[in-house]
Amino acid sequence: MTLQQLKYALEIARCGSINIAAKKLFITQPSLSNAIKELESEININIFERTNRGVTVTVDGAQFLGYAKQVIEQTELLEKRYIDAKPSTQHFSVSTQHYAFAVNAFVDLIKEYSMNEYEFHLKETQTYCIIEDVKNLRSEIGILFKNDFNSKILEKLFKESNLKFSELFVARPHVFISKKNPLARKKIVSLEDIEDYPCLSFEQGEYNSFYFSEEILSTLSHRKSIKVTDRATLFNLLIGLNGYTISTGIISSALNGTNIIAIPLDTRESITVGWISHKNIALSSLALKYIDALKKFLRKLKTIQICY
């Protein structure tokens, strides 16, 4: 077992593809495949499962790569301390539902811990993809919500993927609408108030189940419904069509302007937002700093109940 093999395996996990990893490592795909096969043979486990869509990390592989990551990080610290080696590129990846606060914390992380070289990924993506990204180590942290409706299904997936959910906060559901929407004058809105307006929600792709929806009350039918794939489009439609979406009530005027406002929804539902990570893999220093940035940003808000 060599440090080079460990670095190869970690890069494959990050890329989700042996071919893409080979290009980034500037070696041939057969050479990389052989190096990983030799490593798997030596440690007597399969790190990756090969599929037509790339590679996925096995349960045993995830635990092994967790140790491998710690070894590489400690090696780099030794090299920097005693050999005066050039600092390696810092890697960190987050997969999240479409939350402005996740972006705010990402910005704060980069500003506070300025680095000469880094490769960071912030992926606003579909719920199932978030779970798959963290399961296969393509992202260290995944941010999503649970409630009474989807909790059993998500917890089953977390258990099967050896993931744990850590709670960030509990929020009262709000509707996001344009400040020019006729409902903007209300202090609270009911389901009856919004039924004549277009309902905007995030597309969940081939896993378009009610349980993977980013919006609560996903089983309700709507006479006007629009699916989108990104937050900017959703906000543009909120303004242009007087539509609405249901979320946490946390919105960033610094990132999204002042044309969108949040109004409490009259419902007994609640939204529990948190992050998922691997059960048996220690979080990197960057992941811990990102979580700290999340908590710092959320402490500034008065519209939510923070739970630690």
Residue 226's domain is classified under what CATH number?
A: 3.40.190.10
Residue 179 belongs to some domain of the structure? yes
Residue 212 belongs to some domain of the structure? yes
**pLDDT value at residue 292:** 94
Q: Tokens 């479409």 map to which residue?
A: 98
Residue 304 belongs to some domain of the structure? no
Residue 127 belongs to some domain of the structure? no
- Kindly report the backbone phi and psi dihedral angles of residue 299, in degrees, each rounded to the nearest multiple of 5, phi listed first: -65, -25
Given a cut of 90, whether residue 94 has pLDDT beyond it is yes
> Cα-Cα-Cα-Cα dihedral of 127, 131, 136, 138, to 10°?
50
Handedness of CA 53, 58, 61, 63 (dihedral sign): positive
**pLDDT value at residue 219:** 82
Q: Which of 275, 271, 56, 145 is nearest to 153 (CA)?
A: 145
Residue 186 belongs to some domain of the structure? yes
Q: State the average pLDDT over residues 193-204.
A: 92
Residue 59 belongs to some domain of the structure? yes
Q: State the average pLDDT over residues 14-40.
A: 90
pTM: 0.79
Range name among 187-191, 285-289, 299-303 with the lowest pLDDT average: 299-303
Residue 125 belongs to some domain of the structure? no
Distance (Å, whole) CA 48 – CA 34: 13
Domain limits for position 30: 1-84
**pLDDT value at residue 306:** 42
In this structure, are residues 35 and 16 in contact, taking their beta carbons and an 8 Å threshold?
A: no
Range name among 146-150, 231-235, 295-299, 304-308 with the lowest pLDDT average: 304-308
Of residues 73 and 184, which shows the higher confidence score?
Answer: 184
Percent of the chain surpassing pLDDT 90: 46
Residue 87: band (very low, low, confident or very high) from pLDDT cuts 50, 70, 90: low
Residue 288 belongs to some domain of the structure? no
Given a cut of 60, whether residue 308 has pLDDT beyond it is no
Q: How many domains does the chain have?
A: 2
